[in-house]
Amino acid sequence: MATSTQRNSDQAAATEAHGSPKPCPNCHETRSRAIYSVDSIPAHSVLLMPTQDAATKYPRGDMRLSFCEACGFLANSAFDVTLNEYSPDYEETQHFSARFNRFADELVADLVERFGMRNKRVLEIGCGKAEFLRRLCEAGDNFGIGVDPSIRPERFSAEARSKMQFVSELYSEEHSDLKADVILCRHTLEHIQPTREFLDVVRRSIGDRRDVQVCFELPDVRIVLEETRFWDVYYEHCSYFSAGSLARLFREASFDVVDLWRAYDDQYLLLVAEPTERPTQAALPIEDDLAEMSALASAFETHSQKQIAHWRDTIGTFHREGRKPVLWGAGSKCVAFLTTAGLEHEVEVVVDINPYKAGKFLPATGHPVISPEQLKGYEPGVVVVMNSIYLDEVQKQLDQLGIDAEVVGT
């Protein structure tokens, strides 16, 4: 297994100082400062590999996280879009978790009841496996149009497919003829770097209509910075938003932000907006976060290397004590955790409840992914849960399997 090397942020800042600063992809100002840097991390982290050899040879890129003082946006200034590879092998779905499904059902009910998304044409940009779109179509008697290269229509029943249409491509200006009453975009904007250009494409597709609702959901970077969650900073996510930077982007692109709130233990941001003729002014208290975000970016810069060292030592100690630590959740957080902390043999396997992941290998590190049932024979002493929101769910599953291990949250 290969490792990545970390450079401290002083070096990153020095490098940035010698080059000319890039304009912010969100607001086009050149007032960004480097706060965090990791070399040679896998370009994708949820694209699972069929063999260990293919996994360790997976393309890599660098992370140079910079904070824009003008709009509060964070971006990987070293991001190279040509390393992207979104295909049906991209296994991002979280819908095998009861906890996640409860959240999805509550959000669907909210969108149908509170925002009246009923009997509408719903276009979802970056719909993934379209599981959420299917739920929204069923609950609100909507018709769904899902656009995503990783779509797998064969996973749906004929009845579900009768309420949906799929376009197996990356969304672009060419899809502006796909007219809809609701434009949904969940966990996609953070994978796009020219965020302003992308939102302009969405706005142009709406044209003169005013009765269109736009709903975006994405990770909130605030908690990532606040709790120094370095495992939430990885190559696939080239763009990082707070409530304020997200609202500023929408307002500049001629939308009114109708509502903006946090969900999923403050991990996600949800925004509902409507098109306007011209840019709009900030109106919600949650948008006023620029000074707070600047302070949090500095705190992350100060604490990140200490946090990385803490986890490297903790997992290393578990391993040396013969406690066979395993990570639970073979997603992006897990790949970032292992590659950033430089962990290899200290962890032998990672576990995931998504049956499509078992038998595959993590990109870059080559760790094999096993199912919870397979974990029984492995007899781990410690299970590190990559997202603490699943702690109860994981403990329950371990109890059912009769696995007596210490459960640790990140």
Stretch that binds Zn ion, among 46-54, 60-68, 275-283, 336-344 (CB under 5 A): 60-68
CB of 35 to Zn ion, least distance (A): 14
370 binds Zn ion (CB under 5 A): no
- Binding of residue 253 to Zn ion (CB under 5 A): no
* Residue 206 in the binding site for Zn ion (CB under 5 A): no
* 71 binding Zn ion? (CB under 5 A): yes
Residue (24 or 330) nearer to Zn ion, CB: 24
Q: Is residue 182 involved in binding Zn ion (CB under 5 A)?
A: no
167 lies in the site for Zn ion, by CB under 5 A: no
Report the nearest approach of Zn ion to the CB of residue 27 (Å). 3
- Is 26 near Zn ion (CB under 5 A)? yes
70 is a site residue for Zn ion (CB under 5 A): yes
| Number of amino acids touching Zn ion (CB under 5 A) | 7
188 binds Zn ion (CB under 5 A): no
351 binding Zn ion? (CB under 5 A): no
Nearer to Zn ion by Cβ, of 36 and 73: the residue is: 73
By CB under 5 A, which span of 23-31, 79-87, 316-324, 332-340 interacts with Zn ion?
23-31
Closest contact distance (angstroms) between CB of 32 and Zn ion is 7
Instruction: Name which of 68 and 123 has its Cβ closer to Zn ion.
Output: 68
Q: Compare residues 26 and 340 and give the one whose CB is closer to Zn ion.
A: 26
Residue 25 or 325: the one with the smaller Cβ distance to Zn ion is 25
Residue 73 makes contact with Zn ion by CB under 5 A = yes
Smaller CB separation from Zn ion, 248 or 367: 248
Q: Does 27 sit near Zn ion (CB under 5 A)? A: yes
User: Whose Cβ is closer to Zn ion: residue 71's or residue 327's?
Assistant: 71
HSE-CB of 385 using CA atoms within 13 angstroms: 19
**Residues within the interface to Zn ion (CB under 5 A):** 24, 26-27, 68, 70-71, 73
